[in-house]
């Protein structure tokens, strides 16, 4: 059973010397600084519409100075070029773990997308399950294809298949899009190589294999609950197929084909095998999980070293990407130049994500270096709630207030990190804490979330019906995922 946070006397936090500002001496001042910092962060993002990276960085600097960190501690000095500042260590520490994984995963998803792997996956599953179980097929498509691609890319690629299925059946598009969205949302929130869980794993020092395992265990029941809700609401709210989006999707698809031809990627007549798609997506997951369990089940040996080498996330994703290059590209007539073009183009949207994650790492480093994190830890101890519950609640508040799931995850992970560093927690338990944070980060998607408008736009759902369907769906995913994590935490 995971230990709850027993009450303990707050530790004395020594004030920093040399800082520009110290609001109040001691723990009370640090807590006030933390509270004001979070309020300022939300104000900058929500009211001022400041880019989250800039907002996180500005608040990190403000909190550090207000808590008593000196300019030297924050930024280092020109004279001592070998000294690493708090900002540099925070940014570099998390990006050193996250950037490679996100970069490799993004390129892998792009090859699967451009090669037609997603379309093959959806059509084969639709054929396998039949017309009556088409919503289940769409849910599985979102769940599988959502592993290597971002949420918005998954919608863009798979929306035309949803349109076709709904048009053919004459039923509400909600029956088909909601299960798909549930699968995409769960993988985006709970599973690597998506930025949220990868960043949290780096901030909380947990093996990605445990994050994958707990993400699957917590995510699948959440998706099942979402599918049940989708079936129920899809029969009560009829939303027709948006004809304008059907036409726009056809134009977008033709534009992609034209771009591919211009880049030298000629559409291949050779169909993509479903087994090939599943094999490429599953390869890194299997290798990483094998490495995680070999460290538990095997004594140090050559075999264990080999398994751990191939199961390192960097190596596993590189292998999967090389397989995709050959099986989906070169073997089907792509040139090496085409592969380079697609891979390079896929990395353009990643910059913003990496900067936000890096700024989240800076925020966590500042909280730790200034003593704010310790003050928060002492206060949370006095509250007496389990760290799993606190992590979920903090993530929920940040998500509802500012809308971004990634910002909610990286900020919450930075806040709760000291609570976990003090206790003797297993890797499995810390992975469940990440699941609680991830679950909180997707609750109640509403008008301040870009995903809300993307869903409404792509599937022709009114704002009111989007709140009644998509917002409720996300909340069901959140509660179900957290409930599973909470139950599992009793046994690890």
**3-class secondary-structure state, position 272:** coil
Mean of pLDDT values over 421-442: 91
pLDDT tens by residue, 289-309: 999 889 888 888 999 999 999
DSSP at 85: P
pLDDT tens by residue, 52-92: 899 889 999 998 888 888 888 888 765 555 556 888 888 88
Q: 281-285, 310-314, 420-424, 486-490: which has the minimum mean pLDDT?
A: 420-424
Residue with more model confidence, 372 or 440: 440
**Structure confidence at residue 50 (pLDDT):** 87
**Structure confidence at residue 17 (pLDDT):** 44
Q: CB–CB of 458/151 below 8 Å?
A: no
In the 3-class helix/strand/coil scheme, how is 72-101 assigned residue by residue?
Answer: HHHHCCCCCCCCCCHHHHHHHHHHHHHHHH
**3-class secondary-structure state, position 22:** strand
Residue with more model confidence, 265 or 55: 55
Q: CB–CB of 187/146 below 8 Å?
A: yes
Q: Decide if pLDDT at 10 tops 80.
A: no
φ, ψ for residue 353, nearest 5 deg: -65, -45
Q: Decide if pLDDT at 15 tops 60.
A: no
Q: Decide if pLDDT at 21 tops 70.
A: no
Q: CB–CB of 414/367 below 8 Å?
A: yes
Mean of pLDDT values over 108-123: 85
φ, ψ for residue 260, nearest 5 deg: -65, -45
Predicted confidence band of residue 9 (pLDDT cuts 50, 70, 90)? very low
Q: What are the structural domain ranges in the chain?
A: 85-492
Task: Report which of 212, 126, 223 is spatially closest to residue 183, judged by C-alpha positions.
Answer: 223
What pTM was estimated for this model as a whole?
A: 0.84
Task: Report which of 143, 201, 98 is spatially closest to residue 433, judged by C-alpha positions.
Answer: 201
Q: CB–CB of 153/108 below 8 Å?
A: no
């Amino acid at each position: 059973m995971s230990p709850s946070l027993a009450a303990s006397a707050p530790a004395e936090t020594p004030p920093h010397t040399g800082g520009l500002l110290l609001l109040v001496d001691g723990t009370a001042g640090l807590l006030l600084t933390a509270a004001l910092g979070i309020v300022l962060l939300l104000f900058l993002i929500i009211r001022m519409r400041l880019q989250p990276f800039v907002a996180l960085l500005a608040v990190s600097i403000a909190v550090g100075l207000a808590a008593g960190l000196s300019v030297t501690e924050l930024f280092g000095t020109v004279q001592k070029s070998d000294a690493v500042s708090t900002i540099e260590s925070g940014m570099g520490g998390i990006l050193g773990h996250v950037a490679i994984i996100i970069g490799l995963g993004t390129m892998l998803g792009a090859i699967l997308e451009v090669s037609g792997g997603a379309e093959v996956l959806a059509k084969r599953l639709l054929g396998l399950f039949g017309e009556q179980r088409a919503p289940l097929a769409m849910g599985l498509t979102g769940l599988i294809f959502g592993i290597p691609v971002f949420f918005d890319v998954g919608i863009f690629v798979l929306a035309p298949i949803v349109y076709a299925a709904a048009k053919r059946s004459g039923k509400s598009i909600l029956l088909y899009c909601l299960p798909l969205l549930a699968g995409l949302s769960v993988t985006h929130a709970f599973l690597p190589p998506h930025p949220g869980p990868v960043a949290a794993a780096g901030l909380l020092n947990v093996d990605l294999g445990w994050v994958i395992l707990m993400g699957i265990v917590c995510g699948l029941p959440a998706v099942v609950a979402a599918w049940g809700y989708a079936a129920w609401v899809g029969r009560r709210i009829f939303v027709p197929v948006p004809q304008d989006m059907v036409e726009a999707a056809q134009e977008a698809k033709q534009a992609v084909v034209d771009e591919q031809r211009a880049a030298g990627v000629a559409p291949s007549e050779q169909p993509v095998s479903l087994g090939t798609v599943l094999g490429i997506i599953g390869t890194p997951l299997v290798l990483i999980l094998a490495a995680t369990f070999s460290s538990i089940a095997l004594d140090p040996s050559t075999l264990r070293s080999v398994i751990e080498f191939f199961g390192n996330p960097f190596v596993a994703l590189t292998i999967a990407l090389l397989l995709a290059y050959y099986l989906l590209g070169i073997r089907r007539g792509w040139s090496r130049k085409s592969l380079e073009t697609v891979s390079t183009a896929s990395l353009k949207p990643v910059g913003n994500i990496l900067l936000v994650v890096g700024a989240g790492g800076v925020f966590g480093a500042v909280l730790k270096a200034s003593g704010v994190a310790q003050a928060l830890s002492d206060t949370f101890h006095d509250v007496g709630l389990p760290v799993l519950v606190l992590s979920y609640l903090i993530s929920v508040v940040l998500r509802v207030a500012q809308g971004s799931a990634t910002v909610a995850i990286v900020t919450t992970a930075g806040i709760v990190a000291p609570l976990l560093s003090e206790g003797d927690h297993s890797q499995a338990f810390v992975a469940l804490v990440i699941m609680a944070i991830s679950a909180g980060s997707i609750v109640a998607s509403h008008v301040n979330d870009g995903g809300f408008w993307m869903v409404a736009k792509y599937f022709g759902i009114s704002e009111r019906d989007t709140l009644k369907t998509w917002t409720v769906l996300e909340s069901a995913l959140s509660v179900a995922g957290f409930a599973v994590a909470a139950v599992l935490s009793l046994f690890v």
